[in-house]
Amino acid sequence: MYISEYMTTSPITVSGLTSLPEARQILSEYQIRHLPVIDQAGSLVGILTDRDLRSAYPSSVASREEAVLAFDHVQQSSVVDIMTTPCSSLSMEARLDDALQIFARDKVGAIPVVDMDNKVLGLFSLLDLTSAYGNLFGAARDGVLYFVIEDDGRENIFGELSALFDKNNVVIESLIRIISKKEVAKIYVRVNSLNPNRIIKLLNTHKFRLFVAS
């Protein structure tokens, strides 16, 4: 699944010369948390977050004198002074797994999406990632049931499960195997059904062992 299906297109951007008070106003007005920063040619050069701005403004525990000095400094500062640069980016051809790796590695909340000339086309956030995976695995839709089945070593267990559900007119939303060195491999299956007892009976009848949450 491509990130382009879930990203925010044509996000608001700022230049490095934008003042910090102006950037703060933009974030507040549009209720956003991330601003890609572009140069005069429109190419990505960094990213500014609401966290960056909060860190720049005076601390609530600072003395009055310290707060006044810090506030004056912020008023005279620009985005280029506190933005994250260089920042990671994604192409339109990037997949969810590519974004997941960057989120885990860089500990960021959003990633700019750029074209071959490094022009900003979109912004892909952790919220977008959550929405995408929810849709991919059926977790965000009504009428979807979730089961965990033991992978008992059958040679064609995926094929058997697929055939069983197909024969009984049960639509599979997702079918995933996760192997752990510490425990038995498990198959996570989501099906489109409003009758959990029927699905459990089908699986038990064909000797598929279900895991039950303890």
Give residue 63's pLDDT.
57
Domain termination site, one of 134, 160, 191: 134
Q: What is the pLDDT of residues 48-73, one digit of tens each?
A: 999 988 887 655 545 565 555 555 66
Residue 62 lies in a domain: yes
CATH of the domain at 52: 3.10.580.10
175 in the same domain as 99: no
CATH of the domain at 190: 3.30.2130.10
74 in the same domain as 124: yes
Give residue 61's pLDDT.
46
- Range in 17-26, 41-50, 133-142 with the lowest mean pLDDT: 133-142
Residue 211 lies in a domain: no
Residue 213 lies in a domain: no
**Alpha carbon distance 155, 146 (integer Å):** 23
| Total domains present in the chain | 2
- Looking at every residue in the chain, the average pLDDT score rounds to 87
**Alpha carbon distance 135, 124 (integer Å):** 16
**Alpha carbon distance 180, 51 (integer Å):** 37
84 in the same domain as 24: yes
pLDDT classification of 214: cutoffs 50, 70, 90: very low
Q: Before 21, cis peptide (omega within 30)?
A: no
Q: Is the pLDDT of residue 142 over 80?
A: no
155 in the same domain as 77: no
DSSP 8-state assignment for residue 3: G
pTM of the model: 0.74
Q: What is the pLDDT of residues 120-136, one digit of tens each?
A: 999 999 999 998 887 77
Q: For residue 33, give its domain range.
A: 3-134
Q: Is the pLDDT of residue 179 over 80?
A: no
The first and second tokens of residue 75, run together, are: 């008023």
pLDDT (average), residues 70-86: 80
Domain termination site, one of 134, 162, 186: 134
**Alpha carbon distance 97, 185 (integer Å):** 22
